Amino acid sequence: MTEHPFGHGPSVVLIDAGPSEQDELRRRLRRRGVALHRASTAREGIGLALSIRPDVLVLVPGGAPAEAGGLGLLRAVRREEALEAVPVILLAAGSDAAARRLALRTGANDVLAAPVDAGELAERIQALLRMGQASRAALERARSEERRRLAREVHDRLGQLLTAANIDLRLLERRMHDGEVPPREELLRELGSARSGIEQAIASVQDIAQLLRAPGLEAGGLAAALRGEADNLQRRFRLGCTLRHAASGYVEPPPSVAAELLHICREALTNVLRHADATHVQLQLAVRGRNLLLRVCDNGMGIPRGAADAPAAIGIAGMRERAGGIGARLHIRGRPGCGTILSVRRGLALP
């Protein structure tokens, strides 16, 4: 028995919106262990993909990727939130460099000129699956670190506050149980100490809840969540922070992507507080060309050259992993005394 290169074989939905000339390709892919499902229209193919959640989508629009049919089919797929992370290979009759770049910016993961060899297509499918596994592993590492950080926050901060308040109250209870009634001023002081600890614990719970769930993100999207982060930074740390949001042409990313971008922003702001010695931070959110752009710009001391790639830069490594997990690119540049700019760019499928 021939061993399939994919183990049990990947699940692939082929949306063949052009003339039905792919019969031999489909037969050869199946012989290579690909679990292939075919649809002849965009609506049928998207419905099929939403039903079976394939590992890869292969689109055959019957034209060059720059033509309306190719990009229209690709955009229709990318508008479905449930398919947003599914790798897409676009087959086209022509694929010059400019058309290929346009297709990649619109949301394709790979572009191949048709007719395509079944062996090459199978290898491209396998390569996309390997990349997807690496991205998921990187994202899981970032989330695992986030869980560890939250566990430390609960244990070290919340646990200590509640323990101290509990000790204050138990000591006071014991003294009163033994018949020792402290003077009024002392009683008020001890109760105030316990109440202060409980109030700090409540604030800590609110902070942790904010890390786990962003009400602004759910209610008003990424821009609202970033505005909340800016307000929080000014209120709690007295650090000037503003949001510059270019609403014209803006396309809200899927919730899962927005959540990761918000995490990256929070980590960047934490680094500013710890290391930058800045007096002002500006958050920028806009669409540039066919990319969603998020920037965190501070006026601090500027990150030294090479520091972003240092092994000790665990926070930056986590941000890179989060960015990679959503198909985004993260770049950091700084100038001594002139601040640091962290940029995250992610391609969007625009209508």
Q: Tens of pLDDT along 184-210?
A: 888 888 888 888 888 877 776 766 666
260 and 153 belong to one structural domain? no
- Determine the pLDDT at residue 41: 85
Asked whether the beta carbons of 57 and 83 are under 8 A apart, the reply is yes
Residues 205, 235, single domain; the answer is no
Residues 187 and 301 in one domain: no
248 and 169 in one domain?
no
Indicate if 26 and 96 belong to the same structural domain: yes
Q: Do both 162 and 219 map to the same domain?
A: no
Which residues form the domain of 290? 214-351
**Residues 40 and 89 both lie in one domain:** yes
Task: Please indicate, yes or no, whether residues 34 and 96 belong to a single structural domain of this protein.
Answer: yes
Residue 245 maps to a domain: yes
Domain count, the chain: 3
Neighbours of 336 (CB within 10 A): 10
Say if residues 308 and 323 touch (Cβ distance below 8 Å): no
Nearest partner of 283 among 273, 271, 270, 268, judged by Cα: 268
Whether residue 125 lies inside any domain: the answer is no
Do 16 and 50 have their domain in common? yes
Do residue 38 and residue 148 come from a single domain? no
pLDDT tens digits for 295-341? 999 999 999 888 888 776 777 888 888 888 888 899 999 988 899 99
Provide, rounded to the nearest whole percent, the portion of the chain with pLDDT above 70. 83
DSSP letters for 42-99: HHHHHHHHHHH--SEEEEE-SS-TTSHHHHHHHHHHHT-GGGTTS-EEEEES---HHH
DSSP 152-193: HIIIIIIHHHHHHHHHHHHHHHHHHHTT----HHHHHHHHHH
> How would you class 270 by CB atoms within 10 Å of its CB: exposed for 0-12, middle for 13-18, buried for 19 or more?
exposed
Instruction: Give 342's Cβ-side CA count (13 Å radius).
Output: 27
Query: CA-to-CA distance for 108 and 104, rounded, in angstroms?
Result: 5
Residue 73 has which token pair? 């089919």
Asked if the peptide bond before residue 183 counts as cis, ω within 30 degrees of 0, the response is no
Q: Which amino acid is at 267?
A: E
Domain presence at residue 6? no
Q: For 35-68, what is each residue's pLDDT tens digit?
A: 888 888 888 989 999 999 899 999 987 544 444 4
Task: For residues 220 and 351, state if they share a domain.
Answer: yes
